[in-house]
Structure 1
Amino acid sequence: MSLINKMLQDLDARGTPDGRGDAAGIRSVPERERGVSRALVFGGAAGLTAAAIALGWVYLKRPPVPPVLVSVANTPLPVAAPIPVPVTAPVAVPAPAPIAAPVPIATAPVTPEPVLPAEQTVAPAKLRAAEMGRITQQPAKPASAAAVKTAAPAASELILDGKQVTAQQRVDNTYRRALTQLQDGRVADAMLALQQTLQLDPRHQGARETLARLLLEAQRPDEAARQLQLSLALDPKQPAQAMMLARLQLDQVNGGAAALDSLMRSLPYATDNGEYQAFLAAVLQREQRYREAAEHYQLALQTAPDNGVWWMGLGIALQADNHPAQARQAYERARGLQTLSPQLQAFVERKLVQLTTVATK
């Protein structure tokens, strides 16, 4: 406050002409006014003190530093009297058995983590060793049947040129290759491909018949007959092959019985086949079984009533079975159709004359 009074006195002295201040105007600050200024100063000091105290309080009450996360397994549980764990006494872990291949994690059974007693603490390294020992001791499960089926192609499927080919497709491809080689005139290669087709599918009727015909053209009838016999033994439901085999057997000495046997085995599957019935009738007629021959000729004519050759065969069978009237009717029907060759037409005319002569006697 004395400094402030001195400054006021200096300013007042500069304001007078003679350099002296107005003695009457200059006076000391009364004690009452000095009390007000001290109050202000004391109040400011008190405010600064309060601010310092507040700052100290804030500093003392600042939030603690966030705790650092630590692994529970790495931090021992706080106990009143911790029990020392000997370092030289690890957890007993069986030695892992040797494994041929690592067990995939995806297929390993999920087991719960081992629960330790509350008063026991185990180091993380020991815990991982115990867990690895438990996993490695579990035997590897064999792959399921579905997995094996998915991993490898089925036995009936093959991989050719990067494509999956079924057994039936392989048979068809081999047979088509044989036909292509046959069209190109490569008969030997075609026969080999046909044999390969039959090895893949012994019941392939087209390959069997084609191979038999090629063997016949190559003057190898015995091999052709053997191929047909193998085919009919596997599947007698093949009338065309039975007829082909019967023709080959008829060319052999005393082959009529074998031909009849082949035809009779496939007859149940050719009841509506006129060609088959007529051929069987001709073989029966050759074996002098005329009544049966006449019956099969009649069955054949039900499918083709205008076949002159079959009418002629029926007349021969009836005449040999001592039925002249019925035989003459059959001959007349064969002559009337005008479908016979000149030689057969002449044969029928002679039979009619013979029957007429016998009837007039």
Structure 2
Amino acid sequence: MSAINQALSELARKKGGKIAAIEPVKVKPVKQKLILPWVVGSFGLSLAVGGWAISYQAPTSEVAPEAIIPVANDRVTSAILIASPTAKMSSQSGAIYRSEQNAPAIQEAIHDEKVIQVSSSVVAEPITQPVQLIAKVATKESANQADMVVEQVELTAGQLSDKAQQQAKKALDNNNLKEALDYYHEALKYTPQNEKVRQTLAALYYGKDEVRRAVDLLQKGISLDKESVVLRLSLAKLLMKQKQDAAALSALAAIPENATIEYLSLRGVLAQKANQEAMALSSYQQLVQLDPDSGRWWLGLAIQQERALDFDQAKNSYESALRGFGLSGQSQQFIRDRLALIDQLGEQNGAN
């Protein structure tokens, strides 16, 4: 203080003014508990002065993203860096700037009364840059945000089979036969009585020239459902392609309750070729009941009746065939010849 008083006295003498001697100011010793606020205040003032001086030399820039201190909290929080006169030099590198854009964030943090003071490091050497002053405001996550819920849904056997079939079709589209076969087997495992899947799988094996495996698949399906018209027809047609008509007829030996015209007609034709008269007769008897307007079925029935030497019934069936539809001219001429022969046989029997 004496040095300052002497300097002021010297300045007054040079200007020629009169001034009373400046007495040294006596200051009472500061108590120990007030040392820290004075030190902090003095240091803060020096920093403010230094920052003001440098602000005229260095332009204001935005706060570097890496300078922000994240605060792990789901509520609105802030962090303010406060310089400490006793802190050591930090190892953090990079320029330090003062950002005016952080003022609203600081005010919001103070208004929320959630200010958190974080001790910062200062340089022990002379200050050449402004003090860093930043605030971090974390966005509060919405309480209404939907949580991800994992639900375990059990699929039915049918749904699992459908899914496997879709994968099998995709594999076929990509010409991946092995993968398609695997998926169809998986689908059949879930729904073993699925006729469509079993048919498709058998056809794929037949296309690979694995006839035995295709036949086994169809036979297994028939054993599971003896009334399956679809599987019996598929097996019969496959065996017919292999020139095994007798084996094909055995696949059609039974007549399911829901037997179709296709099923019965193929059964009748194969039975006639194999001279299985009873099977052929039963087939055409049901056919004329299902489709009485077809001349083909009446013709087949008439032939079987004639073979059984039942000429009266055969004659009626031949005549019904002529009244029906679907016969060629050759078949119609065949019917007329048979009717003439039956009439001739009847006259001979009457003469005897």
Task: For CA contacts below 8 A with separation 6 or more, give which structure has more relative contact order.
Answer: 2
Using structure 2 for the length normalisation, give the TM-score. 0.47
Using structure 1 for the length normalisation, give the TM-score. 0.46
Of the two, which has the highest radius of gyration? 1
